[in-house]
């Protein structure tokens, strides 16, 4: 069940970053940065990081550029050493 959760939250985070990029380009209502970061914190760090790279989204914001990789490393370490 834990693996399924991680897969789902990472897919959701990946899609959220893509949707937010699309909305940014089209001047539409945006997904808040807080929501994007919450998706990272609840386990979607890999999906968010891949989404950032693929859609070139939030790559200049320091809290995303450096924060997401650090959270990803921390979450991976927790999984390995739990």
43 has pLDDT over 90? yes
Residue percentage of the chain with pLDDT more than 90: 84
Tokens 């959270």 belong to which residue? 71
pLDDT above 80: residue 82: no
Average pLDDT of the residues in 11-18: 98
pLDDT at 32: 96
- Say what the pTM is: 0.91
Domain limits, the chain: 2-81
Burial 3-16 (b: 16+ CB within 10 A, else e): eeebeebbebbbeb
């Amino acid at each position: 069940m834990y693996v399924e959760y991680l897969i789902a939250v990472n897919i959701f985070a990946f899609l959220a970053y893509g949707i937010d990029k699309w909305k940014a380009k089209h001047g539409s209502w945006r997904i808040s940065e807080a929501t994007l970061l919450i998706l990272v914190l609840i386990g979607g760090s890999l999906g968010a990081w891949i989404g950032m790279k693929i859609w070139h989204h939030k790559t200049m914001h320091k809290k995303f550029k450096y924060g997401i990789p650090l959270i990803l490393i921390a979450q991976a370490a927790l999984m390995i050493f739990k």
